[in-house]
Amino acid sequence: MTKQNRNIIFTTIGIEQETDKLIKKLCKRYSLKKGEIVKLAFLYLEKAHINPADAPESVKSELSKINKRQDDIIRFIRHYEEEQLNPMIRASHSITTRFEKVVTELCELISSEISSSRELQDNVLKKVNEVFGQHAGVINNQAKQINNLSQTQQKENKKFLQLISLYSELATCGVMDGKRKENLKAEIINLIDEK
């Protein structure tokens, strides 16, 4: 370094031999000059707000402070868990239980409605079948002069029975039988359009 750039005024301080040995040891360990290590030490004391006149805290007391802080954090977490998380868990469990109960009741109600609807449809189909059977008997007893009309009527009756059967199948399809419903609707439309 050139002397032109040096505007620093150096001062000296008196230290005892034991402190000098400590400084030399630290200088050797960290590869620093005596002036640098003293300057860095004072900067550290200033920045950390450490009073060198105070006796240093023992490791045991520092660890007990850390443990106390950890205990405080754990207490806070447990308190938060008790006050916030557990009530939310209980509320969501209660909602789930109620929802499950409602779904079960709805399933039972739908099943009973479907079974009663099937019975009603079976009774209607039996009556319709009896009525058509009577009509078919009357038509079959007719003379040859209405034979063509009889054949046409039988075809229409058969088509009508198929339609009723398809409608009953369509009515008994479950909520999840979307593809089956579409197939039944297509067959019904084909039967209606057929001449």
- ∠ CA 177-106-101, rounded to 5°: 130
Give the span between the Cα atoms of 183 and 131, in whole angstroms: 28
Tokens found for residue 15: 């230290």
Q: Residue 15 above 70 pLDDT?
A: yes
Q: How confident is the model at residue 32 (pLDDT cuts 50, 70, 90)?
A: very high
Whole-number Å distance between alpha carbons of 144 and 182: 42
- pLDDT (tens digit per residue) in 100-132: 898 899 889 888 888 888 888 888 888 888 887
| pLDDT tens profile 45-61 | 888 887 878 766 676 77
CA distances from 15 to 10, 29, 52, 133 (A): 16, 20, 15, 128
Of residues 138 and 122, more confidently modeled = 122
DSSP 82: I
Rounded Cα distance, 2 and 140, in Å = 134
Could you please report the per-residue DSSP string of 44-60? Answer: HHHHHT--TTSPPPPHH
Lowest mean pLDDT among 93-102, 108-117, 145-154: 145-154
Report pTM: 0.31
